[in-house]
Amino acid sequence: MTKKILVWLLVIFFVANISVVHAQQPGKIFRIGFLDGGTAAGTANLVRAFLQELSNLGWIEGKNFTIEYRFGENKGTAGHRSELAAELVRLKVDLIVVTGNQVSLAAKKATGSIPIVMVTVGDPVGDGLVASLARPGGNVTGLSSLDELNTKRLEILKDAVPKLSRVGLLKPSGVRGPRRQQNDLRNAAVALKLKLEEIETQVDAKGLESAFQTAKQKQAKAIMTISARSIFAERKRIVELAGKYRLPAIYFQKEFVDDGGLMSYGADYDDLFRKAAHYVDKILKGTKPADLPVQQATKFEFIINLKAAKQIGHTIPYELLARANQVIK
């Protein structure tokens, strides 16, 4: 009897020690890839919102996850995007967060197995990223920012500039898409009886300066841009040029107005990046991307900056001011 008790004690002691060893072993440190077509500086605020929400969900950088950042630096070529996506795949990251249509397509082409969480993609179904919003299928899911908001921006711009007849549309050169944005804007311009002057530009200091000069030469009386990560990354320069050339402009994110722009109307991108953190949380805990429906933006903001209006000598109609969520005086 004594021997049996001794054996059981030894077994219990052995099992207890194994449990302690396992308890002391650190958990897996997940590696997240982050791929953006713009610049690190231009995306910093959105990355901050993403990381803050991950922290709220219990994820601590360096303790249970690390991030491999890759930025396109506005080069805008398909080859460069594919190269960056391939780098993350070679690193065997556990998940890739991507921003914008073109970068998302590059990531999907690079891997059919690593989960991909997309953010700020206008038309994920039309671009072939997912089978449907409700049932994405495959390895891609995430957030859609709605391309059709461009039409609304053009309407607002016409309301903001009485007798507006000609609008300059800045779009990055060397980028095939986003086709739907351009087609929607062309159709909207016809309906609004506006002439849309499409101006391709390299998204750098020289290219943007030239684009604004072209807009003035074409007698555009207002400016808007295609919604693109490269445009967002150079928002400060674009806002400065709009002021320099005294052209009323509407932008697709509030950050343009934060940097001195006249107006913005669009999805709350901070909110989209915070929601992206929840996708990452679920996937790293075992949920398959195919089982997570794509969410469309639900929070929108219309902001007007009267300081910018004064700078270019433009008066915003009172009726439009009354519709804004925020007016900066």
DSSP class of 297? P
Q: What local confidence, expressed as pLDDT, does residue 174 receive?
A: 66
**pLDDT for the residue numbered 227:** 86
pTM of the model: 0.80
Across residues 285-302, what is the average pLDDT?
Answer: 94
Question: How far is the C-alpha of 41 from the C-alpha of 315, rounded, in Å?
Answer: 33
Domains of the chain: 30-145+268-299 (3.40.50.2300), 149-267+301-328 (3.40.50.2300)
Residue 60's φ and ψ, nearest 5 degrees, are -115, 120
Q: Is it the case that residue 11 has pLDDT exceeding 50?
A: no
Number of helices (H), then strands (E), in the chain: 13, 13
Q: List pLDDT tens digits, range 47-72.
A: 999 999 999 999 999 999 999 999 98
> Mind listing the pLDDT tens digit for each residue in 75-117?
767 788 899 999 999 999 999 999 988 899 999 999 999 999 9
What's the chain's average pLDDT? Answer: 89
- Residue 149's pLDDT is 86
From 45, 108, 103, select the one nearest 79 (Cα to Cα): 103
Read off the tokens for 213.
């000069």
Average pLDDT over every residue of 201-225: 95
Note the pLDDT tens digit of each residue in 202-211.
989 999 999 9
pLDDT of residue 145: 83
